Structures are given as structure tokens and as C-alpha cells.
Chains A and B, each alone.
Chain A
């Protein structure tokens, strides 16, 4: 190959795309030495390649598609009463029932309230799942543990039945304890000179509403209800320290796990009401604008002290200990490299022509690099099934390079450019059909909340697409140059 040929080759858009993607991938993977001098990359590893534990939580709730001839608000209130469960309206046609019921149990109750069940799915709506995730994130990342990942596993219609919590560096018993643990929440009152005194603990808070906006003042607040004894304790405290007459010097302070999460004075109307009667319905105001809204959201979570909006049940958990994780990682690397070498030998055995074998193996390796680069870029967590998928892509990717080479070399003659392109097109037809079957075969997995296999399906599909769109056309161009020399 002359330098001029090489230049032409690089100018070809197929080859150029491949090179650009390769460079971007290496940047995304970012192999480097960290400040301790250890070699490291941007690649993210799943739990089975590190160490830690995961917990699979089942959310005890249902999303029900329904119709009713009653006014919706009344219908929902009735249902909630007869089921003795929280019922939330998801959208015009769907309700979320925050307690476990079978469809058979629900059917008669719906019909007696003047409604009908259209669809029944166990799980929660996306909004509730997001809230649960936020609560878990908050609780577990403040608990001193690092690297907690909370993954919502949703199925059809965005209904999530399971949440997977992955924690690095703990075993499954510790992880279960952390997830099950409630935060310690306390309300105190400022007495004098920044001293505070205890009023109630979190168990006196009987319910917490979602954040809302006060239309008059424009400020956000979180409504919550105190138990009767809690309301009495609060009344006693504010009277004792004079907060009813001088609210600004006697803030109410809310503390979660020894961290102050809210501090504010009694509102003047509340202060005057408390002089005579205990008040159960309270609200904490967090101010106006986006920051007020965010603070309100955070406070609502803190008030719940890590309690989730729906009941959960631990349905699975697993420990991966450090030795196993490290071994899995090393074995994956060795298997990958060995696979590349064996595949190279098979190809060499067949063609005996370095000019063909070398581009094939290089293209195959670059396919791997682009896939790894993509995973690094989207911070995808590589786990063992994904690695098996990658190695399979390695084996099948080269298949298709064989199809191209054989199609072009048909009857052993080196073709003219015209015939060449015709044959390349024919080879690409075979490849596209084969690729379509792999993509279609993986689509069902993408749509199912089957723990970690969703990621595996995504990477397999991606591997096929990178092959069909980028690396195989580039190979077709490169091999043409090689054969026509």
C-alpha cells in the first residue's frame, strides 16, 4: 500500500467514521494512572465485578386502569376508605393503590363503589418509584456508606414493581439492615442562647403530605400531621418557652440523624391558635422560588425519616465478596483477550494471508473498543452477562467479516470496482438480515424488568448496530484496498 493509497483510505467516510469513533472511545474510556499510581479507566463495573451486596425490593402496590360513572374525587375517597389504603390518582385512567391486593379482592370493591377495573398491574407509577428512589438515595448515602445505586426496574407502561439497591463494600446482612433502618427524626425548640429542648420524635408524626405552593405568599411548604399526644407536647413546649408570644426567637428545629434539616418560627396565626388549643395539622414553610421548592421536596423526605411511600418486601439479595469480584474481573479480561487470539488463529488457519487476517482482527478489536467507549460514556455498569455478550459479539462480529470477504473473493477472482460494490452490497444484505434477527431477539428483554439482563440486551443490540453501521462498511472499504493492490 502506497502512502497515497493510505491517504485515500483515511479520507473515505466509512474509514474516517471508524477512526473518529475509536478516538472518541479511547477518550471516553480514559485509561490513566490515578494519584496512587494504579492503572484505572472510566469504565463502570457491576457489583459482580467488585464487591458488595444488592437487595431486591418488591413494592407492595398496584396500578389499576379503571373507569367510573362517579365523580372521580368521590370515587377515589370511597375506595381509599373501603380498602383502608392510600389511593393516588396517577392520570385520568389510572389509580395507584398503596397496599397489596389481588385483582379478585379489588373487583367487588370497585364495582360497589361504582367503577370497573380495566387493567391490573402490580407495582407503582413512575412518580412514586422516583420518590422511593430519592428517599432511598437520601437515606443510604447519608448513612456513611458510599456508592449506593438505586435502580428502578420498570416494565410495560412504566409501572415499577421492583427496586434494586446495590451497595459497594457491605455484605447482604448489613445491606438489609441499612435499607430497613429508619432515620432518627426529632423536633426541638430553641429556648435561650441557641440552646434547644426536645419536643417530639418522628413517631409522633402521623402523616406527611407532598410539597405544595401557598398561592397567597408564593412560598412552598410541606404539610404534616402530628399525633394527638404529639400535638399536645408541641403546645406545651411552645407555651412553656414563650414561642407563642415571641415566635422569632424560638424557632422550631427539625433534626434527622443529628443534622438540622429545617429551622423556622411559628406562623403568627398558628402561634395565636396554639395559645388555646393543640393543633395537629401543621406545615413547614421553606420559602419561594426554585430553591424553596427543592427544600420543600427534601424536607418532605426528611419528615418521613426514610420511610418509603409504599410498603416493601425484600425478595432477593446477594453478597459478592471482594476476592470473588476481583477474580471475576480478571477472568473476564483473560477470557476476552484469549477469545480474540483464538478467533485470530481460526481466521489465519482459513485465509493464511496476513493482509486479510490483520484488518479482520483489528476491526474486531476496534468494535470492542467502541463498545467499551460507549459504555464508559453512558456510565453503563458492566457485569458478567454483559461480558459474555461482548465475547459473543467478538465471535459473531468476525463471522460477518468472513461473509464479506468470501462474498467478494467469490470464485477466487479479484473483482473490478463495479462488481466489487455489487458483491459488497449482497454481503451487507446477509449481514443486515442476520443483525435484524439478533436485535429482534433481544428486544423482549429490553422491555422486561428481569434484574440485570436489561443491560445485557442493550449492549448486545448496540454491538450489532455498531457492527452494521460502522465497522463492517469500513472493513469492506479497507479489504478492497488490500485486495486490489
Chain B
């Protein structure tokens, strides 16, 4: 692809890995701070935290709505086709009844949309986290089994880890919640983000030729691979953003962030470690 050139020969392994490593460290710090302050690295969505949601027909601004609901745990106001989507945290029976009658009075045009029991949400949340952990472990095993050399395998697994951590940090900054949909997106990232790492490692370790030529060749193929997935995710992102289909919007946003992180980690982190490994006599 002629858009930008990637002169991997110009940079030493150290120079290559420094930017992503700093970003990874910052991301880890951000997620740890979240963990310490809220007990969970990401903001859980309604499905996981438990609570209620309503759609209301209104022309009021977000601030006016927040003011109207000061007595209730209103956690989110989202745009919807004819008004707003309101998300409330867990409520007890009486508070719930009072919320219902308040909405009935103030917003006659409304509809209750969802309800999630906090304990049910919690158990789903732990399942989602478990799924992510197991999935990552499984992916690592496949990588180690297929390359059977320690450092290159570690490089791939580290890049994938950095992808997920950076994506999670970006989600936290942009206010994208961890929901069933975004869990699915993170799992897709675990599976798909190693594509280009596997291509890179296979080309560098299993082919004859000069290291720099192999790196450039791998980049040539790898970047187009990521671009196609980026293209598909962008199409999904634009359409779902324009029409307010939240689940698709969240999934595609997470995929987009993850793929950008993947470009960084594959061609800086992974390529850097691999270059260092080969320059120090590995791979032959």
C-alpha cells in the first residue's frame, strides 16, 4: 500500500517497542486506577450492573432530564429515535414504584425497556470476564504450540495482550461500557488480532531471505489484512452510529479501536521483539 512507508530497517528494536510499551503502561495504570476506585477495570453496562431502562418521548435536553430525576440513580441518558433512553441503577421495590409513577406523570409517552437483577448481572459479568481470560489462555496455547519457540511466541501473546489492554483503556476514556456486545467484540479481537502477528512471525522465521526484506514483505501483506477488517468495521460503525443502533455501534467502535491498537502492536511491539530475536541469532 503506497499510503505510507514503513522503514523498519531505520529503527532499532528498542526504538520500535518504546512507544507501544509506554502506551501499554499508561493503559495498565488507568485500568488499575479504575479497579481501585470502582472495583472493576471498566464501567459495566446495565446488563452487568443491574438496573432499569426506559425510553421517553421528549424534547428536553440531557441536563433538564438529569435535573428532573435528581432523586433517582440516573446513570445514563442516551439519544433515541423519538427522545431519550434513560438508564437507572438498581432500585428497591418502593423506589421502583415511585420512579414508575413519576415517569407516568411527567412523561406520559414512555416505555419500560429493560430490567436486570444486580445479582444476575454480577454473575453474567464474572462469566464474561472468565470467558475473556480463558479465551486469552486458549489463544496463547495455540500460539505456543504452533511456533514452538519461546521468544517469538511471547512476542505474539504480548502484542495480543497489549491490544486488549489498550482497547479497554480507550473504552474507559470514551465511556464505552462493558456489555454483552462489547464482550463479544473483545473476544473477536483476541481471536482476530493475532492474524497479522502469525503472518509476521511465519514470514520472518520460516522463510529464506534478508530480515528487512521479510519484514517489509510481511508488512505489505499484513497491513492490507488489517485494512480490510478496519473497512468492514468502519462501515458497521458509520451505519449504526447514524441510526442509533447502540449494540452494533459499541461493537464496531471496540473493533475499530482494537484494530488500530493491533497495527501498533504488530508492527512495533511484535516486529521489534522479533527483530531483536533474529539479530541476536535466534530463528536459525
Contacts and interface: CB of A to CB of B under 8 A. Distances in A.
Interface residues of A, number: 76
Contacts of B194: 434, 437
B231 interface: yes
Interface stretch (B24-32, B67-75, B112-120, B274-282): B112-120
Interface in A391-414: 391-392, 394-396, 398-400, 402-403, 406-407, 410
B180 A339 contact: no
Contacts of B114: 172, 316-319
A345 interface: yes
Contacts of A406: 217, 220-221
B181 interface: yes
Interface string A215-228: 00000000000000
B245 interface: yes
Nearest to B239: A335
A324 B206 CA distance: 51
Contact of B231 (A319, A342, A453): A342
Nearest to A407: B221
B97 to A, nearest CB: 13
Given A385-B184, A406-B221, A430-B198, A396 B229 contact: yes
Interface in B209-249: 217, 220-221, 224-236, 238-240, 243, 245, 247-248
Given A319-B114, A440-B138, A443-B138, A392 B239 contact: no
B191 A442 contact: yes
Given A438-B192, A450-B124, A445 B135 contact: yes
Contact of B120 (A316, A392, A445): A316
Interface residues of B, number: 70
A255 B176 CA distance: 53
B35 interface: no
A48 B231 contact: no
A426 B231 CA distance: 26
B199 A440 contact: no
B113 A318 contact: yes
A388 B199 contact: no
Interface in B171-206: 180-181, 183-185, 187-188, 190-192, 194-195, 198-199, 202, 206
Given A342-B231, A441-B135, A396 B252 contact: no
Interface of A: 48, 56, 58, 162, 171-173, 313-319, 321, 323-324, 327-328, 330-332, 334-335, 338-339, 341-343, 345-347, 349-350, 384-385, 387-389, 391-392, 394-396, 398-400, 402-403, 406-407, 410, 426, 429-430, 433-434, 436-445, 448-453, 456-457, 460
Interface of B: 1, 47, 55, 81, 111-117, 119-121, 124, 127-128, 130-131, 134-136, 138-139, 141-143, 146, 180-181, 183-185, 187-188, 190-192, 194-195, 198-199, 202, 206, 217, 220-221, 224-236, 238-240, 243, 245, 247-248, 251-252, 255
